[in-house]
């Protein structure tokens, strides 16, 4: 009996440790993950193709995805289709990690029946909608817009038809596109499930010729060194930047004015010749928006004149004093 109590205590302790250190406890500000389909408790037949759709909002792009299907298989895309070979109850987990390393997940339980056909029509009515963008949103021409569908109920698999009101369309649950011409557009999504049930949703977008996306304006500042700073010849100086607004991830191009350049956010640089140099940094965000910042630096030789004591006598003065003595 005591051995059983010890084992039970160890099990509880292990569960607490796993819960504390689980990646689920590390959440990005605003990062939300939801399994759009299948629905929790939904039934499918052995061998039936099931569409697994993941929805992500907030967090810091780009994202990495992993599906864990409880039958020893997995997938690394946001959306995935698969079938099960054996009947049973399965837990499906969708995990997402954003660019900052934060993680969160969602889980649903599904039932795989041995019957060839499964009818879910009595328990779940098909409901499809556009998760993003939102109706009334506005973007720049040329800005990549992510269109995402979310589905609840109905009978998988689902088919998707996007109509973007500019003569283009798409057939996947998620799609990224740009608009070349400014104007107002009505985007329509039609979803049809395996039983032929249909659901339709629309959003209205405004496309501007510039300065109209939904994000804060991109702003670039060279943090170090300061403008007109004096740098020592052949001594490494840290060049760094602060970027606010815009859409991550960003690309960086430094031009140091001496024919050299760098492509990282910060860079250690030494000049091999004295002189005045103009340093320029250009930053481009994920939407193609570009901003630049510039500073001037002066490169000088290191002063080895005895610590900079202007009152110290020169060598000739010392020799002259000795002759007088």
- Residues 197 and 260 grouped into a single domain: no
Query: CATH number, domain at 27?
Result: 2.60.40.10
Residues 193 and 229 in one domain: no
242: in domain: yes
Q: Given this model, what pLDDT does residue 23 score?
A: 40
Cα(253)–Cα(267) distance, integer angstroms: 11
> Is the same domain home to 60 and 85?
yes
3-class SS of residue 9: helix
Lowest-pLDDT choice from 149-163, 179-193, 212-226, 307-321: 307-321
> What percentage of the chain carries pLDDT values higher than 90?
55
Q: How confident is the model at residue 140 (pLDDT cuts 50, 70, 90)?
A: confident
Count how many domains the chain has.
Answer: 2
Q: Which residue has the tokens 């250690």?
A: 268
Residue 248 clears pLDDT 80, i.e. is over it: no
Indicate whether 227 and 291 sit together in one domain: yes
Please report the DSSP string for 203-225 in residue order: EEEEEESSS-SSSPPPEEEEEES
pLDDT class of 247 with cuts at 50, 70, 90? confident
245 in the same domain as 202: no
Q: Which domain range does residue 100 map to?
A: 22-208
In this structure, are 174 and 237 located in the same domain? no
pLDDT tens digit sequence for 165-197: 999 999 999 999 999 898 999 999 999 998 889
pLDDT reported for residue 155: 87
Q: Is the pLDDT of residue 14 over 80?
A: no
Q: Is residue 1 part of a domain?
A: no
Q: What is the pLDDT of residues 147-164, one digit of tens each?
A: 999 998 888 899 999 999
Could you tell me if 128 and 193 lie in one domain?
yes
Q: Tell me what percent of the chain is helix, strand and coil, each rounded to the nearest 5.
A: 10, 45, 45
Cis before 38? omega within 30: yes
Q: Could you give phi then psi for residue 165, rounded to 5 degrees?
A: 70, 15
Q: How would you list the strands of the sheet with 88-97, edge to edge?
A: 43-45, 103-113, 88-97, 64-68, 74-75
Let me know whether 175 and 259 are in one domain: no
On the question of pLDDT at 48 being above 50, the answer is yes
Distance (Å, rounded) from C-alpha 61 to C-alpha 33? Answer: 13
């Amino acid at each position: 009996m005591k051995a059983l109590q010890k084992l039970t205590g160890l099990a509880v302790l292990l569960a607490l440790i796993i819960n504390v250190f689980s990646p689920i406890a590390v959440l990005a500000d605003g990062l939300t993950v939801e399994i759009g389909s299948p629905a929790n408790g939904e039934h499918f037949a052995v061998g039936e193709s099931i569409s697994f759709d993941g929805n992500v909002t907030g967090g810091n792009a780009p994202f990495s995805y992993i599906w864990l299907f409880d039958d020893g298989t997995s997938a690394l895309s946001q959306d995935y289709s698969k079938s099960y070979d054996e009947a049973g109850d399965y837990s499906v987990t969708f995990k997402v990690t954003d660019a900052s390393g934060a993680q969160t997940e969602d889980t649903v339980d599904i039932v795989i029946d041995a019957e060839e056909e499964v009818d879910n029509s009595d328990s779940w009515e098909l409901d499809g909608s556009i998760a993003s963008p939102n109706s009334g949103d506005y973007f720049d021409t040329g800005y990549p817009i992510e269109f995402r569908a979310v589905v609840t109920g109905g009978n998988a698999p689902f088919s998707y038809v996007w109509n973007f009101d500019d003569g283009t369309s798409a057939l996947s649950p998620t799609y990224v596109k740009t608009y070349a011409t400014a104007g107002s557009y009505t985007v329509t999504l039609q979803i049809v499930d395996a039983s032929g049930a249909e659901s339709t949703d629309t959003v209205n977008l405004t496309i501007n010729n510039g300065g109209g996306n939904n994000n804060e304006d991109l702003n670039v500042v060279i943090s170090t060194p300061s403008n007109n700073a004096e740098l020592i010849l052949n001594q490494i100086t840290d060049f760094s930047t602060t970027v606010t607004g815009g859409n991550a991830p960003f690309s960086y191009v430094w031009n140091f004015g001496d024919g050299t350049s760098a492509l990282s956010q910060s860079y250690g640089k030494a000049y091999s010749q004295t002189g005045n140099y103009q340093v320029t940094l250009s930053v481009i965000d994920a939407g193609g928006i570009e901003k630049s910042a510039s500073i001037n630096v002066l490169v000088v030789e290191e002063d080895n004149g005895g610590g900079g004591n202007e009152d110290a006598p020169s060598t000739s003065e010392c020799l002259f004093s000795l002759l007088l003595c």
